[in-house]
Amino acid sequence: MKRRLKTALEIAKVWLSYKPYFTQELETKLKLHGYLPSEIQPAIKILTEELILNDEAHFKNSIEYMQLSLKWGPKKIIDKLLYKGFSLDEAQEKVKQYYQVEAEGDILKAAIEKVKNRYPNDEKTKRKIDVYLYNRGFENSKRK
């Protein structure tokens, strides 16, 4: 068996120094690297108490980044959270809590202009706009 040089807490701090993780992402990654639950749980508890690991702040920052920087709609953000291992109910609740509805109009306008600039006189422009917005995670009713 390979001897580990770092404890679960030490390696988790190293990983968290590069990028933020959700608690369950960090637990999964530590398990994949061969750490036992008896090593992982105390490390997670310490990181949470020291506020190095903060799921609520990470949810808020992630949803804000996906919406305002990546210009994603709520459906695509929910899909990303599902991919990270959260339940549908939890993902929908967090998006509902942190998604900025007032910024959505500006995002939609910018996306429509982007597609119109790419295909200015194309008879399929409306369809291309619909597909673009659908791929970005916006609902049909908001795309019209």
What is the pLDDT, as a whole number, of residue 119? 79
Whether the pLDDT of residue 1 is over 60: the answer is no
Tell me the pLDDT tens digit for each residue of 49-69. 999 999 999 999 999 999 999
pLDDT of residue 20: 94
* Burial (0-12, 13-18, 19+ Cβ within 10 Å), 12: buried
Model-level pTM? 0.84
Q: Report whether CATH 1.10.12 matches the domain 8-53.
A: no
pLDDT, mean of residues 39-56: 95
**pLDDT score of 112 more than 70:** yes
132, pLDDT greater than 50: yes
Domain ranges in the chain are: 8-53, 56-143
Cβ–Cβ < 8 Å for 43, 105: no
Q: pLDDT class for 144, splitting at 50, 70, 90? A: low
Nearest CA-CA partner of 134 in 106, 115, 118: 115
d(CA 138, CA 131): 10
